[in-house]
Every structure is written in C-alpha cells, then in structure tokens.
Amino acid sequence: MPAEIRLIAPCGMNCGVCAAHLRKDRKCPGCYGEDINKSASSIKCIIRNCEMIKLSQSKFCFECEKYPCKRLKQLDKRYRTKYKMSMMENLESIKGIGLSAFIGNELERWHCIKCGGVICVHRGYCLHCGAITE
C-alpha cells in the first residue's frame, strides 16, 4: 500500500498533516502503521479500534451501517472548530471522488507555497519553514 494511502485514517483524517506524523523525532506512522511512536490516545482510539470496521474489514467509516456514529460526530466537531478541517467532509470527498483524487487534493491543500513542505493541520503553519496558512 503506498504511503499516502496508508496515511488516510478510517475517520478521514489525513495523518500526513498531523503534528505527530510531521515531527522530526519519534514520527507517528499513522493509524494503519505499527503502534511504535504512537501516543497512548492514538493506540486507544475508539474509531481506529472500532469493531464494526474490523468485522466488516471496511477501510473507512462511511462504509459502516452506523455512519456517522457519535464518536465520529464528536471528532468532526472538534476538528471543524479547532482546526478548520472536517473528517466527515473528508470521508464524503473520498466516497465521491475516490481515494486517489482525495489524496491529490490533500497534497495541494496542505502544500506550503514558501518551501514546498507540509502545513500542519494542528499548528496551522509549515513545521519546516514556519510559513503560516492564509
């Protein structure tokens, strides 16, 4: 599985723009990676460990009969409020245009125009050069 695809979590989070993945030391490999370097909260994540996802072998929450569940709604609200990014919009985009097109859009959306690095969703700026998003 290509790295970009492995970095899209079941909830629709692009782990490639997460502060834990972008840090220099102990880089988190994303939800589909090994648990090495993951925070305890990431390892215990209710969505990542959802039995419905595991039982159906679905890759994304929108494939679940309980979509959107309470936990996903809570996560989406927090990210929309704090980080101006919506998990449910991401999932709807993946569902509508496909994973490859979604990843292409994400690469453009989070691309630092100053240095070519990645804008961190949690910080709102490029961790490489410090450029701030508009």
Q: Which residue has the tokens 């990210």?
A: 79
pLDDT mean over 73-88 = 96
Single pTM value for the model:
0.88
pLDDT at 55: 65
Q: Tell me what the mean pLDDT of segment 100-105 comes to.
A: 95
Please give the residue that has the higher pLDDT: either 17 or 26: 17
Query: Between residues 9 and 48, which one has the greater pLDDT?
Result: 9
Q: Quick check: 37 pLDDT over 90?
A: no
- The domain ranges of the chain are 3-109
Per-residue pLDDT reduced to its tens digit, 8-23:
999 999 999 999 999 8
